């Protein structure tokens, strides 16, 4: 190769090249042999590259709560991109970020009156953990450095999130992550909770595991506990009745901050703006992402209560109070998408709709009991988890097969975590489409080896 050739910039890749994109959380080699390509979407449906309508049984990745390509959100994004594409929120500001913050804090329960923005659920989890640590620092409790998560928890893929997360493959390749993290035991016990509708009756006492960790580490070393009110990514685990209240009480007793990771549960998934409302439990910090823009533009954030924000509002007025933030914190286009999405949720009553459909949804899901390979079914809000018996010696294979078959042969997008199918459709779904979704799932189950 001559020097001139070596220096040449190549702009045009070969057409249809699937090789270069290293896909996330995907078996790349298998995907690239038989790709599941989506080319457009509208309302409840994706459209595959070959033109087939694919029912969206998962709201994308738990995010497209208002359905796809909704006019008012698309228009708000277009308008904002044309008017103000970017402005920094470090030392400057723009109206949409402030507007979205006040909309969210108005919607949030209690005195969760302050919003900090980032771009994803992972960043939201790390932001929440950093604020918790810094809060103790600025209030003179700097020995509180320990962060407690829960087995089977998912808080994204940042180093903070994987430290408190409790899904083994998300952790085991990445060293020790943050020192000093510990975990509550998870809340699932098939013997006591199989085929649960809503919150399982059994298991409130599992919150007492926090007392065990307090006894081990001493409360004076613990900054915060972070849990998903409903654990989604691990395969849909609703909190046992009374569990979250008990966790709140124990945190209060020991001066530990309670963080609800509501990246999945916020914005209607459990029939309320936030799961905190469903459970009547006020955490100190809520993380959110996904549904805040209906998945249209990346946006995440945390909501914090008055005492957290106010603890930082000390020192000289010219000095930065929190050394944290992202270039795209409160990005104008994302903020505009957020405001338009909240409008749509309100105008179409989508949170109430999810609540009204919950019983019917649960009936349809639990009707799959007894179908081939089904080992447990759990429903809550507009979410269903269906555990499949694993193929002996090959964990995850049956689930993977189910997802592929659903897409290629039954025109349906379902989500899997190992051998658990998780369904969580856009909240615009109606009774007929719920029927179609579970019919397709039934056919998938019957088609599996
Ligand atoms: C509870 C929870 N937290 C954090 C995340 C991470 O969000 P993201 O993928 O946007 O980083 C997720 C993603 O599913 C989640 O479910």
Give the confidence band of 29 by pLDDT, cuts at 50, 70, 90. very high
Ligand 1 atom index nearest CA of 290 = 10
At 422-439, the pLDDT tens digits run: 999 999 999 999 999 999
Residue 288 pLDDT more than 80? yes
Confidence grade of residue 11 (pLDDT, cut at 50, 70, 90): confident
Banded pLDDT at 8 (limits 50, 70, 90): confident
Q: Which two tokens stand for residue 89?
A: 């929120």
| 122 pocket-lining for ligand 1 (C-beta < 6 Å) | yes
Can you give the pLDDT at residue 12? 79
* Region of poorest pLDDT, from 9-18, 332-341, 344-353: 9-18
> What's phi and psi for 348, nearest 5 deg?
-100, 5
Q: 248 CA to middle of ligand 1, Å? A: 22
CA of 198 to the centre of ligand 1 (A): 22
Ligand 1 center–CA 160 separation, angstroms: 12
Give per-residue pLDDT as tens, 243-261: 999 999 999 999 999 999 9
Rounded to the nearest whole angstrom, what is the distance from the C-alpha of residue 299 to the centroid of ligand 1? 11
Torsional sign, CA 350, 354, 355, 357: positive
Nearest ligand 1 atom to the CA of 233 is 16
At residue 63's C-alpha, the angle toward residues 96 and 159, to 5°, is: 85
Helix, coil or strand: residue 150: strand
| Rounded Cα gap, residues 276 and 286, in angstroms | 9
Q: What's the average model confidence in pLDDT over 210-220?
A: 98
Q: Whole-model pTM above 0.75?
A: yes
**What is the predicted pLDDT for the residue at 242?**
98
Distance between CA atoms of residues 396 and 370, nearest Å: 20
Neighbours of 352 (CB within 10 A): 14
Residue 9 pLDDT greater than 90, yes or no: no
Ligand 1 atom nearest the C-alpha of 298 is 10
- Distance of CA 210 from the midpoint of ligand 1 (Å): 23
Judge if the beta carbon of residue 277 lies within 6 A of ligand 1.
no
Q: What is the dihedral of CA 362, 366, 367, 368, to 10 degrees?
A: 130
Quote the ligand 1 centre to 449 CA distance (angstroms): 31
Domains annotated for the chain, with CATH where assigned, are 3-66+349-447 (3.90.1150.10), 73-347 (3.40.640.10)
Tell me what percent of the residues of the chain surpass a pLDDT of 90. 95
**Residue whose CA lies nearest to ligand 1 atom number 14:** 233
The reply to whether ligand 1 has any atom less than 6 angstroms from the CB of 263 is yes
10 Å Cβ neighbour count for 326?
Answer: 17
Question: Do 220 and 95 form a contact (C-beta atoms < 8 A)?
Answer: no
The strand pairing partners of 181, in sequence order, are 147
Ligand 1 atom at shortest distance from the alpha carbon of 231: 1
> Residue 335 in contact with residue 147, Cβ under 8 Å?
no
Tell me, in angstroms, the distance from the centre of ligand 1 to residue 396's CA: 21
- The pLDDT confidence band at residue 4, using thresholds 50, 70 and 90, is low
CA dihedral 32, 68, 238, 421 (to 10 degrees): -30
Find where tokens 């298998």 sit: 30
What gap in Å lies between CA 167 and CA 159, rounded to an integer? Answer: 13
What's the rounded mean pLDDT across residues 270-280? 98
Which tokens sit at 339? 């405001």
Residue keyed to tokens 């209030």: 139
Residue nearest to atom 7 of ligand 1 (CA): 121
CA–CA separation, 288 and 4 (whole Å):
51
- The SS3 assignment for 368 reads coil
Give dist(CA 360, CA 351) in Å, integer. 15
Q: What average pLDDT does this structure show over 229-255?
A: 98
For residue 361, the model assigns a pLDDT of 98
**Quick one: which atom of ligand 1 is closest to the CA of 228?**
1
Q: What is the mean pLDDT of the chain?
A: 97
Q: Reply yes or no on whether the pLDDT at 7 is more than 80.
A: no
> 258: which 2 tokens?
């309670």
If one residue of 25, 59, 125, 296 were mutated to test the ligand 1 pocket, choosing by the most ligand atoms within 8 A of its CB, it would be 125
Task: Choose which residue among 26, 123, 154, 239 to substitute to test ligand 1 binding: the one with the highest number of ligand atoms within 8 A of its C-beta.
Answer: 154
Region 307-332 average pLDDT: 97
CA distances from 6 to 1, 12, 14, 17, 266 (A): 6, 16, 18, 22, 51
Read off the pLDDT band of 24 (50, 70, 90): very high
C-alpha 157 – ligand 1 centre gap (Å): 8
CA 121 to ligand 1 center in whole angstroms? 4
- Residue 394 in this model has a pLDDT that exceeds 80: yes
Ligand 1 contacts CB of residue 419 (under 6 A): no
Q: What separation, in Å, do the N-terminal and C-terminal C-alpha atoms of the chain show?
A: 52
Asked whether the predicted pLDDT for residue 5 surpasses 70, the reply is: no
**Which amino acid residue places its CA nearest to atom 8 of ligand 1?**
121
Tokens 């004076």 map to which residue? 220
pLDDT at 6: 61
121 lines ligand 1 (CB under 6 A): yes
The mean per-residue pLDDT over the stretch 361-375 comes to: 98
Percentage of the chain exceeding pLDDT 70: 98
Q: Does the beta carbon of 155 lie inside 6 Å of ligand 1?
A: yes
Cα-to-chain-centroid distance, residue 291: 9
User: Is any atom of ligand 1 closer than 6 Å to the C-beta of 232?
Assistant: yes
Q: How far is the CA of 244 from the centre of ligand 1 (A)?
A: 20
Q: How far is the CA of 292 from the centre of ligand 1 (A)?
A: 13
């Amino acid at each position: 190769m001559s020097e001139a050739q070596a220096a040449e910039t190549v702009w045009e890749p070969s057409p249809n090249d699937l090789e270069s994109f290293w896909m996330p959380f995907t078996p790349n080699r298998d995907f690239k042999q038989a790709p599941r390509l989506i080319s457009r979407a509208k309302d409840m449906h994706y459209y595959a590259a070959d033109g087939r309508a694919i029912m969206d049984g998962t709201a994308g990745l738990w995010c497209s709560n208002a359905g796809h390509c909704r006019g008012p959100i698309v228009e708000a994004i277009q308008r904002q991109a044309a008017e103000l594409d970017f402005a920094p929120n470090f030392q400057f500001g723009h109206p949409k970020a402030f507007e979205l913050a006040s909309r969210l804090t108005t919607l949030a329960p209690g005195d969760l009156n302050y919003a900090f923005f980032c771009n994803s659920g992972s960043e939201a989890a790390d932001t929440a953990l950093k604020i918790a640590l810094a809060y103790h620092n600025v209030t003179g409790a700097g020995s509180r450095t320990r962060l407690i998560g829960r087995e089977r928890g998912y808080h994204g893929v940042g180093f903070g999130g994987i430290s408190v997360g409790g899904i083994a493959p998300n952790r085991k390749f990445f060293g020790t992550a943050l020192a000093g993290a510990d975990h509550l035991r998870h809340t699932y016990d098939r013997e006591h909770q199989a085929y649960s509708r809503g919150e399982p009756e059994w298991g409130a006492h599992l919150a007492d595991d926090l007392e065990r960790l307090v006894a081990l580490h001493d409360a004076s070393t613990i900054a915060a506990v972070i849990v998903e009110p409903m654990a989604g990514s691990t395969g849909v685990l609703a909190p046992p009745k009374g569990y979250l209240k008990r966790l709140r009480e124990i945190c209060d007793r020991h001066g530990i901050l309670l963080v609800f990771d509501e990246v999945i549960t916020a914005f209607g998934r459990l029939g309320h703006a936030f799961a905190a409302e469903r459970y009547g439990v006020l955490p100190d910090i809520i993380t959110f992402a996904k549904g805040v823009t209906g998945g249209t533009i990346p946006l995440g954030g945390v909501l914090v209560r008055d005492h957290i924000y106010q603890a930082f509002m000390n020192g000289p007025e010219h000095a930065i109070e929190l050394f944290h933030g992202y270039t795209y914190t409160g990005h104008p286009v994302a903020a505009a998408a957020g405001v338009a999405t909240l409008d749509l949720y309100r105008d179409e009553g989508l949170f109430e709709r999810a609540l009204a459909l919950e019983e019917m949804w649960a009936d349809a899901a639990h009707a799959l009991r007894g179908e081939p390979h089904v080992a447990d079914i759990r429903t809550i809000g507009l979410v269903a988890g269906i555990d499949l018996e694993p193929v002996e010696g090959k964990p995850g294979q049956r689930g993977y097969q189910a997802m592929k078959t659903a897409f290629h042969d039954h025109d349906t997008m379902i989500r899997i975590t190992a051998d658990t199918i998780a369904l969580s459709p856009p909240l615009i779904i109606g009774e007929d489409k719920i029927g179609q979704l579970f019919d397709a799932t039934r056919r998938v189950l019957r088609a599996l080896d």
